[in-house]
Amino acid sequence: MGVAQVVVVRDHGGMPLNSYRFRSVWSVDSTPAQTFEVLADLRSYPHWWREVREARQVAENAAELRCRSVLPYDLVFETHHNAKDPDAGLLRADLLGDMDGTVSWRIFADGTGSRIVYDQEVVVCKPLLRRIALVSRPILKANHELMMRSGQRGLRTYLAGFQAATQTTQGTQATQTTQAT
């Protein structure tokens, strides 16, 4: 009877080929507080990030997300917030499902807007993607980059509407207060 061996193929960085580290830096014309509020609301993601096809609340600080970018496959995973600190501008979550790992958003004031640093470290668990990791790695990285660019565009547009709605609400409340006095 032979002994089973597990061989992990590693890339140049010493990580298994089905492991990924991504960093994206975005800028948006929105205050850190407004940006944090939108990013903390996992249910809002499909409204502004077209590749996040579905978000289903599964617990108070958790949602199941279904994502699909250019390539013809979905990634389904649960996102569980483990840090939500608006004062520090930090959101961090554990991911479990077709990919396991962590993701974080760090939000910084940048002039009149915000700079957002997105860090993700995951292991892809979806069987097909694990089997083809050696040949698909560059394609999956490009797919992720396209998804992130789209996310930034969508967030900018969504935040512009979010700000307009907030200003309209504040203006209406101020008018009502003035009329009442």
What confidence score (pLDDT) does residue 7 get?
A: 37
DSSP assignment string, 87-134: TTTEEEEEEEESEEEEEEEEEEEETTEEEEEEEEEEEE--HHHHHTHH
For the segment 135-153, what is each residue's pLDDT rounded down to a tens digit? 888 999 999 999 999 999 9
Where residue 14 falls (left for φ over 0; alpha for ψ -120 to 50; beta otherwise) is left
DSSP 8-state assignment for residue 9: -
Q: Tokens 């396209």: give the residue.
A: 146
Tokens (6 digits) for 175: 């008018």
What confidence score (pLDDT) does residue 63 get?
A: 98
Q: Which domains does the chain have, with CATH numbers?
A: 19-164 (3.30.530.20)
Tokens (6 digits) for 99: 């990919």
Q: How far apart are the first and last CA of the chain?
A: 89
Residue 78 amino acid letter? E
Residue 8 amino acid letter? V
For the segment 76-113, what is each residue's pLDDT rounded down to a tens digit? 999 999 999 999 999 999 999 999 999 999 999 999 99
Residue 80 amino acid letter? H
Q: Is 60 exceeded by the pLDDT of residue 4?
A: no
Q: Is 50 exceeded by the pLDDT of residue 12?
A: no
Q: Is 60 exceeded by the pLDDT of residue 9?
A: no
